[in-house]
Structure 1
Amino acid sequence: MSIEVMTLLFFGSLLFFLVLGLPLAFVLGGVSVVFLYFTWGFDSFYLVASQIWSTMGSFTLVAIPLFVFMAMILERTGVARDLYRMMHLWFGGVRGGLAIGTLVICAIFAAMVGISGAAVVAMGTIALPAMLERGYDKKMVLGVINTGGGWGVLIPPSILMILYALITGVSVGKMFAAGILPGIMLMVLTSAYVLIRCYLQPHLAPDLPKEERGTWSEKFAALRSVVLPIMVVFMVLGSIIGGITTPTEAAAMGVLGALISAAVYRALNIELIKDASVRTFKLTGMIMWILFAAHAFSAAYQSMGAQPMIEGMIQSIPGGPWAVIIFMMLIVFLLGMVLDPVGIMLITLPVFTPIVASMGFDPIWFGILFVINMEIGYMTPPFGFNLFYLKGVVPPGITMGDIYRSVIPFVLIQIVGIGCLMVFPEIATYLPDLLF
């Protein structure tokens, strides 16, 4: 049977079982095991075990449960509530100011937690009702929270960046440094869109009445709410950039910062630790099972002779190296609509990165393009995680259709950001070259 027919059967089976609603880890692993058996026989399973064993020996993986635990602690403290109060006072007088303030909070949260869902849930609970109550357009509000929440995988520390570094062999520290300026760029682009659109269509986001804007003394007093977030960011990123810790050890510093924040807010107790630990075990377990299954998937597909076929197909694309990069981004964008980001990384990166390196592109720069595409995957229908996180906290009157429609202009902004990185790669490469 030809590799082309095997590819159709392989991915067809995968999509069929995913549409039935089966868990991704079981689908990836189950389909892979069946195809491995019929391709190479029982001995092929040793290949999967060998790959999994080598991965589990990686010290970098320790950072994943630590960053998840940090996120779970911070989500339950009063950090997000106080940040929103500060943004309410400082930005409320600007048309669309609460939406822009929400984007800034999402960026700050992203720099603390490293995962996508925390900011979506926090802002969906705190900012969404406040903005709807003040007459903000619901699609504007939903789109802002959905977009800003996704920055958790781009602005360091990021679990997806750790996995990218683990798969491709690049430096985690360089990936973290490379994500800072692109994250700021996307925040500026999105804020500019909100500001311009609200200026042209004032009914979408009215400015607040003067009595809600606060006095200057209240505004300056509210600035105290950023002290703890800055401390956490400094403990994580500052310790890496300063050469004090490795990225994995910096995750432990982040946990310490989160515990200090919880203590300051008087939220630190046994119940909080227990709840955060259980949720961390669940999420980390899910990531690990997907990791195992994706290794089986990668081993099965490569054993069929897929890599030479894909390399030949990609290198035959007309238009040169840039056309190949755009084609890769398109594939990742489409996969992001239906698959888990971890699975996408483990399926595509072993094939893509050797081709990217052979064409002379910087793997750190390509990694940032890839991670932004993963961020878009979190917010695009039909299976974007942020869509379902948001649906879980919105008022009853907001439908899934409203959430789906709200993301369209914001997805286009993220694509514009990818275009800017392609035209000006220094946005991603400047800080890694400077610091490392």
Structure 2
Amino acid sequence: MDAALLGQLMAAGLFLLIILVLMTGYIVAFTLGGLAILVGFAGIAVGAFDQSLFAALPNRFWGVITNPVLVAVPLFVFMGVVLERSGIAESLLTTMGQLFGSLRGGLALSVVLVGALLAAATGVVGATVVTMGLLSLPAMMRAGYDPKLATGTICAAGTLGQIIPPSTVLIFLADILQGANSAAQLSLGNFAPDTVSVGDLFAGAILPSLVLVAAFILYIVWKAIFHPETCPPVAMTPAEKAGLGLRIVGALIPPLLLIVSVLGSIVTGVATPTESASVGAVGALFLAAVKLFADAYLGAEGDPKRDIRLFWFWLVAIAVLGATAFAFGAAGLLNTMLGLLAVALIVILARGDLRRSYLQTLFYSSKSTMSITSMVFIILLGATAFALVFTQLGGSAMVQGFLENMPGGQFGALFVVFFIIFILGFFLDTFEIIFIVIPITAPVLLIMGVDPIWLGVMIGLLLQTSFLTPPFGFSLFYLRGVAPRTITTPMIYRGVIPFIVIQLLALAVLWIFPDLATWLPNELFRSDAPGTEGAPPPPPSFDEGGGEDEFL
């Protein structure tokens, strides 16, 4: 048998074998890297794989570890974990629940809004789902909510961290699409292609994520109007109503301050995503210090005097931070945050109880960040070995031929890839899908003329469903772990189905209106860039059948 054909068969067998082994629950990184190396040695034995390529594997590993773009990942993870452990997320959830709880569906609305805010401030799905499950689910059950609506809302709102910047999923997607786009454009004869940066995908995801949040809210409003018995209002006590406005301001300012500092610096071009991640990490430490300081010196939770003092404190802090950011950019903002953090730490460390609390928060946040980051990067190293072996066995050429010969041209190829990702989301984690499927399929789709920013946002939105789809959706597991025994697993599964349908409808809207993903990054980063006129064309809408001749 011809060595090239044999290599392609081995590449297809490697892909299927990895999917099967992953479904058994074996360690992802060892599955990807181990099976790839074993199949590579088998390819050497039959003459389908060049053994010298294995010598390049350490350099590839080193390139992954030293990639400056990926430095943002542990910083954003650390930022999210600090906010969760410091109690800022809990305060926000409690206060927003009091704000909307008196409305039918108000608690569910507060969960969605808080989920969106925490996603933009943290991007940590597991911590968000667990926090809302511990705090909101009991309150919703006491209020008489339908368990399916309550659990579905919490799971769906918790997964918004997958698509709302600063999402670690978008960071990895941007890194993969950057390389894929460069290779695709070079193969098409474009030797000065536009780059695909993390900032592009962050900007591209903003409008689609807002559409998704609005769709969740509209569904809850529809339930409140036509099925009011599923989401009754909550009676507010006089103590909860007193000073609610000031508490709302005090609870909203910390996450909003972090969102503006991080995303604002990226969108305005003041800082790169990695630089803004450092601002976010320092900002989270500062907010945690302020939370401890307020608990110790400004009064207890619910004390009106505390609310007034916090209001004036944040008013002054915003004025100082805004002035330094305007005058000196991201560097001035970071230095000011460091200075305020130093002052807060001096006050905190003077008291033994506060010192222990802050150091415990720092220790557990660092430990959790190390665990999450190590898990993701070891999977990435295994995926690097898989990509090398799969590509050199001829798998990429096989995939390219398969997609280019799909009926419907570009539309058919996109539909098949998206369908495969959706099905794999029932069984595999988000990062597993990213590192296995995207490096294989993205270069082919980009050669066929798909806009890389639109493709990245579409994939990010689709991958979000992997956290919701039974039977292995991670958000379902997170909520199952903290839900009371009266909430059964089938209830959780049935509860997320409407939100999965909403996400699929949001994908259809983004497919029909691709400008939702491409307009903002083009306005911010590419309107004056040279060579914009040579950028890839936008993706097709449903009424464009396409054909192979279009892409030749």
Q: Give the TM-score range, shorter chain.
A: over 0.9
Q: Contact between 2:163 and 2:464, CA under 8 Å: does it hold in 1? A: yes
- Counterpart residue number, 1:28: 32
Q: Secondary structure at the match of 1:155?
A: coil
Question: Alignment partner for residue 251 of structure 2, among 225, 232, 235?
Answer: 225
Question: Alignment partner for residue 431 of structure 1, among 517, 520, 530?
Answer: 520
Q: Secondary structure at the match of 1:413?
A: helix
Amino acid at match of 2:41: Y
Q: Does 1:38 align with 2:38?
A: no
Comparing 319-328 and 287-296, the one that deviates more: 319-328
For the residues of structure 1 that align with 2:503 and 2:238, how far apart are their CA atoms? Answer: 32
- Counterpart residue number, 1:412: 501
Comparing 342-351 and 155-164, the one that deviates more: 342-351
> Shift of the alpha carbon at 1:213?
10
Where in structure 2 are the equivalents of 1:302-317 lying within 5 Å?
302-317=391-406
Q: Contact between 2:7 and 2:43, CA under 8 Å: does it hold in 1? A: no
Amino acid at match of 2:70: L
For the residues of structure 1 that align with 2:413 and 2:75, how far apart are their CA atoms? Answer: 36
Q: Contact between 1:139 and 1:402, CA under 8 Å: does it hold in 2? A: yes
> Shift of the alpha carbon at 1:349?
2.1
For the residues of structure 2 that align with 1:16 and 1:121, how far apart are their CA atoms? Answer: 30
For the residues of structure 1 that align with 2:247 and 2:391, how far apart are their CA atoms? Answer: 59
User: Computing the radius of gyration over CA atoms, which structure comes out larger, 1 or 2?
Assistant: 2
> Shift of the alpha carbon at 1:8?
5.2
- Counterpart residue number, 2:444: 355
Amino acid at match of 2:394: G
Question: Alignment partner for residue 184 of structure 1, among 210, 219, 233?
Answer: 210
Where in structure 2 are the equivalents of 1:22-421 lying within 5 Å?
22-40=26-44, 42-169=51-178, 170-209=196-235, 211=237, 215=241, 217-266=243-292, 269-421=358-510
> Shift of the alpha carbon at 1:303?
2.1
For the residues of structure 2 that align with 1:106 and 1:165, how far apart are their CA atoms? Answer: 24
For the residues of structure 1 that align with 2:475 and 2:236, how far apart are their CA atoms? Answer: 34
Q: Secondary structure at the match of 1:310?
A: helix
Write the deviation string for residues 123-147 of structure 1: whole angstroms up to 9, x where unpaired: 1111111111111111111111111
| 1:210–1:285 CA distance, 2 compared to 1 (3 A) | closer
Q: Contact between 1:24 and 1:340, CA under 8 Å: does it hold in 2? A: no
Instruction: Give the number of equivalent residue pairs.
Output: 436
Q: Secondary structure at the match of 2:472?
A: coil
Comparing 273-282 and 201-210, the one that deviates more: 201-210
For the residues of structure 1 that align with 2:107 and 2:239, how far apart are their CA atoms? Answer: 11
| 1:66–1:210 CA distance, 2 compared to 1 (3 A) | closer
For the residues of structure 1 that align with 2:16 and 2:204, how far apart are their CA atoms? Answer: 36
| 1:387–1:37 CA distance, 2 compared to 1 (3 A) | same
Write the deviation string for residues 47-95 of structure 1: whole angstroms up to 9, x where unpaired: 4323222222211111111111111101112222222232223212321
Q: Secondary structure at the match of 1:269?
A: helix
> Shift of the alpha carbon at 1:7?
4.7
Q: Contact between 2:205 and 2:517, CA under 8 Å: does it hold in 1? A: yes
Amino acid at match of 1:281: M
Structure 2: where are the runs of 5+ without partners? Answer: 46-50, 179-195, 293-353, 526-552
Amino acid at match of 2:121: M
| 1:49–1:338 CA distance, 2 compared to 1 (3 A) | farther
Write the deviation string for residues 287-321 of structure 1: whole angstroms up to 9, x where unpaired: 11100011111112112211111111111111231
For the residues of structure 2 that align with 1:398 and 1:26, how far apart are their CA atoms? Answer: 35
Q: Contact between 1:89 and 1:213, CA under 8 Å: does it hold in 2? A: no
For the residues of structure 1 that align with 2:287 and 2:24, how far apart are their CA atoms? Answer: 43
For the residues of structure 2 that align with 1:399 and 1:161, how far apart are their CA atoms? Answer: 33
Write the deviation string for residues 188-234 of structure 1: whole angstroms up to 9, x where unpaired: 00110111023211111112235479548424542321000111111
TM score, norm. by length of structure 1: 0.95
Q: Secondary structure at the match of 1:395?
A: coil
Q: Contact between 2:79 and 2:284, CA under 8 Å: does it hold in 1? A: yes
For the residues of structure 2 that align with 1:3 and 1:329, how far apart are their CA atoms? Answer: 26
C-alpha RMSD over aligned residues? 1.9
For the residues of structure 2 that align with 1:141 and 1:33, how far apart are their CA atoms? Answer: 46
Amino acid at match of 2:497: I
Q: Contact between 1:236 and 1:254, CA under 8 Å: does it hold in 2? A: yes
Write the deviation string for residues 263-291 of structure 1: whole angstroms up to 9, x where unpaired: 12107611111111111111111111100
- Counterpart residue number, 2:315: none
Write the deviation string for residues 349-381 of structure 1: whole angstroms up to 9, x where unpaired: 223222222232210011000001111111112
Comparing 148-157 and 83-92, the one that deviates more: 83-92
For the residues of structure 2 that align with 1:404 and 1:310, how far apart are their CA atoms? Answer: 34
- Counterpart residue number, 2:189: none
> Shift of the alpha carbon at 1:404?
2.0
For the residues of structure 1 that align with 2:266 and 2:440, how far apart are their CA atoms? Answer: 30
For the residues of structure 1 that align with 2:151 and 2:419, how far apart are their CA atoms? Answer: 25
Structure 1: where are the runs of 5+ without partners? Answer: none
